[in-house]
Amino acid sequence: MSEQVYQRCLNPGCGATYGVDESYFACPACGDLLDVVYDWDRLEVPDSLGWFEKRWASRQNRLDFSGVWRFRELIPFCSDSYRISIGEGQTILQPNDGAAKYANCQADRVLLQYEGLNPSGSFKDNGMTAAFSHAKLVRAEHVACASTGNTSASVALYAHACGMKCSVFIGSGRIAYGKLSQALDFGAQTIQIQGDFDDCMRQVQNVCRELKLYLVNSLNPFRLEGQKTIMYRVLEGLGWQVPDWIIVPGGNLGNSSSFGKAFAELKQLGLIDRIPRLAVINAAGANTLYDLYEKQGVRWQGGQLNMKVIDDYYAQLNATGYRPHTLATAIEISRPVNLKKCLRALEICNGVVREVSDEEILEAKAVVGRYGLGCEPASAASLAGLKKLRAEQVIGADEKVVCILTGHQLKDPNITVTYHIENKGQYSNRPFEVENDISKVIEALQTASGSCCSGR
Ligand SMILES: *Cc1c(COP(=O)(O)O)cnc(C)c1O
Ligand SMILES: [Zn+2]
């Protein structure tokens, strides 16, 4: 292949390559995932990450303002004319001593990367800006996705910005209203399928094949290119120092896959001298990765995976009619499409996988709310996972840890309100009901213990 950028099949036994001007969500030769591959020797790449700081001074340029495209030399699959931005990636890395204390880490060792600040309120915008830029490159007119909610919200925003039609497939019932309200309000054609996310994922692939629609799920390798920038911004927030750990919730495993690719490339380019460790956290009710990686010992092994174990696992899920179940609906996925890429990322980053219960998620979410910026349930799996890995001594108290908060607190207010009103946990902060009478109100003010003061 003579091109500087191309797509390549993940399966080393196949290795087929395709141009970036083509659009597939599976290798036409063997059906495996595709990667975007760069011939870095023939591309112009800065010789230090500090070089990107010059972009801070030219924020009136929409691509320099974007938290994704200001790193465009590291995701160079199309020219500026195709790059679309709606101001994604203006996120912050927040040192959080409350979270550190909760997880039994030393103060100032824990930071929260808050992706809820993106235009649609979740990290998905990082990927969507890249996928839609590629969609423009291939002149797509109609995009589609399956979604547990956040993907649909993000797709709807970017489709509007690009003047494309969009169809989103959601499962019945299991979608948080904050997210559904966005997809509807942003004007997405919304198809509710009687089934769960895994069913929607299968249907949308069939439909995209049949009708030649452009698929924007994380099967799309260009989407993952955009999500690499979450790690670039983490490094930027740390003055280009590499942390010891990155902890991320795992659903369809696009984020974890893209983080591994980001670090492998930065290392290859000599832009970092070591790679942080990666912890991917499943919900216990949707724990395919945890089962396969930690219990069955499945490893990437340079692409020589033990497919039999994986195939048997899925056959078992089918045979028992297994349905994943967690209140962290964004990660309620039992057939993660990026499983193989995630296994590769775990190898690159010497990673670990853990599962956390819904109770642990709710508690960690309340802690993020109390001491941080708030987040949706799935996001809190990262802090719950940190607490677990600290208890197991896998992570040391003095190690520098970045937890990715994938989505905004207001995505799923029902769960938050229920937790507090129904006294579901030790951080519950119930409203105090009182008669409409000044003396009763004063009495209440003096006796009701606001949780913010009591710490209870
Ligand atoms: C999509 C999503 C996830 C899961 O991310 P993957 O990349 O699919 O593993 C986690 N949290 C939130 C809030 C999400 O929207
Ligand atoms: Zn192939």
Task: Identify residues whose C-beta is under 5 A from ligand 2, the ion.
Answer: 9, 11, 14, 16, 27, 29-30, 32
Residue 29 and residue 102 in one domain: no
Both tokens assigned to 352:
């670990």
CB burial readout 427-455, b (16+ within 10 A) else e: bbbeeeeeeeeeeeeeeeeeeeeebeeee
Residue found under tokens 């802090």: 383
Residue 390 and residue 434 in one domain: no
Residue 393 and residue 266 in one domain: yes
Residue 237 and residue 339 in one domain: yes
Q: Range of 387's domain?
A: 92-119+224-415
Name 171's bridge partners: 193
3-class DSSP string for 143-199: EEEEECCHHHHHHHHHHHHHCCEEEEEEECCCCCHHHHHHHHHCCCEEEEECCCHHH
Least confident residue range of 222-231, 351-360, 424-433: 424-433
What strand order describes the sheet that includes 110-114? 92-95, 110-114, 401-405, 245-249, 277-283, 352-356
Look at residue 173 and tell me if it is in a domain.
Answer: no
Distance from the alpha carbon of residue 198 to the mean position of ligand 2, in angstroms: 23
Residue 368 and residue 245 in one domain: yes
Q: What pTM, to 2 d.p., does this model score? A: 0.96
Quick check: 451 pLDDT over 80? no
CA distance 213 to 194: 21
Pocket test for ligand 1, best of 112, 114, 122, 334 (most atoms within 8 A of CB): 122
Look at residue 209 and tell me if it is in a domain.
Answer: no
Distance from the alpha carbon of residue 12 to the mean position of ligand 2, in angstroms: 8
Quick check: 175 pLDDT over 90? no
Q: Which amino acid is at 309?
A: V
DSSP type of residue 209 = H
Residue 320 and residue 447 in one domain: no
DSSP string, 277-305: EEEEEEEGGG-HHHIIIIIS----GGG--
If we measure between CA atoms, which residue out of 240, 219, 346, 230 comes closest to residue 294?
A: 346
46 and 52 Cβ atoms separated by less than 8 Å: yes
Give percent of the chain with pLDDT exceeding 70: 98
254 and 125 Cβ atoms separated by less than 8 Å: no
Quick check: 455 pLDDT over 70? no
Is the CB of 122 within 6 Å of ligand 1? yes
If we measure between CA atoms, which residue out of 232, 279, 280, 226 comes closest to residue 252?
A: 280
Q: Which residue has the higher pLDDT, 258 or 1?
A: 258
What is the model's pLDDT at position 384?
A: 98
Residue 456 and residue 335 in one domain: no
Question: What's the domain count of the chain?
Answer: 3
Residue 436 and residue 333 in one domain: no
Distance from the alpha carbon of residue 122 to the mean position of ligand 1, in angstroms: 8
Look at residue 50 and tell me if it is in a domain.
Answer: no
CATH of the domain at 300: 3.40.50.1100
The contacts of residue 320 (CB under 8 Å, 6+ apart) are none
**Atom of ligand 1 at shortest range from CA of 255:** 7
Dihedral pair phi/psi, residue 14, rounded to 5° = -105, -65
- Could you read off the pLDDT of 295-332 as tens digits, one per residue? 999 999 999 999 999 999 999 999 999 999 999 999 99
Residue 367 and residue 324 in one domain: yes
Pocket test for ligand 1, best of 406, 409, 412 (most atoms within 8 A of CB): 406
Residue 400 and residue 253 in one domain: yes
Quick check: 196 pLDDT over 90? no
Quick check: 454 pLDDT over 60? no
Look at residue 154 and tell me if it is in a domain.
Answer: no
Q: Which amino acid is at 114?
A: Y
pLDDT band at residue 397 using 50, 70 and 90 as cut-offs? very high
Distance from the alpha carbon of residue 446 to the mean position of ligand 1, in angstroms: 42
Is the CB of 254 within 6 Å of ligand 1? yes
Residue 23 and residue 107 in one domain: no
Is the CB of 330 within 6 Å of ligand 1? yes
Look at residue 212 and tell me if it is in a domain.
Answer: no
Residue found under tokens 């003047």: 163
Look at residue 264 and tell me if it is in a domain.
Answer: yes
Look at residue 4 and tell me if it is in a domain.
Answer: yes
Distance from the alpha carbon of residue 252 to the mean position of ligand 1, in angstroms: 7
What is the model's pLDDT at position 198?
A: 85
Residue 343 and residue 389 in one domain: yes
Is the CB of 251 within 6 Å of ligand 1? yes
Look at residue 340 and tell me if it is in a domain.
Answer: yes
Is the CB of 255 within 6 Å of ligand 1? yes
